[in-house]
Amino acid sequence: MNSEGIKQLVKEKYETIANHSIQTTPLSCCESSGCCSGLEFSMIGDEYQNVEGHNPDADLGLGCGIPTQFAEIKKGDHLLDLGSGAGNDCFVARAVVGETGKVTGLDFTDAMVRRAVENAQKLGHSNISFVKGDIEEMPFPDNTFDVIVSNCVLNLVPDKNKAFAEMMRVLKPSGHFCVSDVVLKGNLPEELKNDAEMYAGCVSGAIEISEYLNIIELQGFIHITVHKQKEILIPEEILGKYLSVTESIRFKESDTGIFSITVSGYKY
């Protein structure tokens, strides 16, 4: 599948999640695709309930960390959230930047942008805005933002070099990013890696952690720090869909694995 095909698949899945009735249990990206029931619960180990600014209506359970926790956000900052969804991390960030700051959410699904705008209107926040756009071609001028955050989104972007290059472009000098994302250690079995549905299950778009960190460095970021790392355990029933018993045992005994990380880096 080419880059545009992957983007279209991801867009369709997240439109489904966003349009799901808020009166019922929110769909995870796995449940909407039907490909990896149970896996998402292993990924979402971080809890927002006690985090200031958390809005349950905006929390669709799609993250793999709390990037704002390590983002060193200050009052008055202009912050950008990439793949902002229904606005969860934007509302958390807004509690930190305060009335003098500004928060912008970027998402490329119409339904998510609409849902985020509705959530912001309910809260009466005037310094939060949500914009439709592609992370690989952000609709913002150079040197706009003090801080960028993102939560389990960049792994879904086909061209990660472009994504981090764009982050470098729109950050102000001395600005920084902090993202939570999914990465691999070792080679994920091809049966899992090549399943297009898993792109909307937040796994197959992930790359090797060393490659991920190398991309960040190649785009010119400095003071790169991995703040948190946690293994994502794949349930037996999921492995059984893609691997034989022997392959599954081999996989579990190897150093190969899927991890959520929270990493930051600074622009010169």
Paired with 266 in beta bridges are: 176, 222
CA distances from 179 to 70, 167, 192, 236, 260 (A): 9, 11, 24, 29, 10
Number of Cα atoms under 13 Å in the Cβ half of residue 23 = 0
Which pTM was predicted? 0.85
Higher pLDDT, 54 or 42: 54
Q: From CA 148, how far away is CA 22, in angstroms rounded? A: 28
Q: From CA 179, how far away is CA 195, in angstroms rounded? A: 25
- In tens, the pLDDT along 100-110 reads 999 999 999 99
Q: Give the whole-number percent of the chain exceeding pLDDT 70.
A: 85
State the CATH architecture for 3-266.
Answer: 3-Layer(aba) Sandwich (3.40)
Is 90 exceeded by the pLDDT of residue 57? Answer: no
Please state, as a whole number, how many other Cβ atoms lie within 10 Å of the Cβ of residue 171.
24
Report yes or no: 81 and 104 within 8 Å, Cβ to Cβ: yes
| Residue-range domain boundaries for the chain | 3-266
Mean pLDDT in the chain?
84
Is 60 exceeded by the pLDDT of residue 43? Answer: no
Higher pLDDT, 75 or 198: 75
Radius of gyration of the chain (CA): 18
